[in-house]
Amino acid sequence: MHNYNALIDALGEDEPQSAARSRAQESAVRMTEPDAEHDEPALQWTPELTLMLAILEDAVACFCMTLKRPRQNPEILSRQAEFWFRLDDWESPFSFNNICEALRLDPIATRERVFAKRPQRRTNS
């Protein structure tokens, strides 16, 4: 079973960590086991889906400026990640919308959750 621990760590801070982790683990189980009620096939963790999850986790870390070793200026990375989250692109295979859809996440709810974790921006005054 694949898990969303890094994503939960980045986005689950507004509720008790154990509750967030428990909900995510239940969700992960639903993604890996067929759902009898909806007859939805299980999510098969292919290398492509694993890469998509890693891209989403990296974008959240860039946006929240929580990268341990940023590749460049953290504020630039944060702005670039914000642009990627806001872009309403369904054409690119690795767009935010398509990654959420492939991972069976609601793009609107995920976007709202990410933006709720917006870091405080420094103003030049």
Residue 106: closest CA among 97, 114, 115, 95: 97
Q: Which uninterrupted H or E stretch holds 59?
A: helix 47-64
Single-letter residue type at 122: R
pTM for the structure as a whole:
0.68
Flag whether 61 is in a domain: yes
Q: How many CB atoms lie within 10 A of CB 13?
A: 13
Flag whether 66 is in a domain: yes
Flag whether 122 is in a domain: no
Give the residue with greater pLDDT, 114 vs 69.
114
Give SS3 for 40. strand
Taking only the tens place, the pLDDT of each residue in 76-110 is: 999 999 999 999 999 999 999 999 999 999 999 99
> How many domains are there within the chain?
1
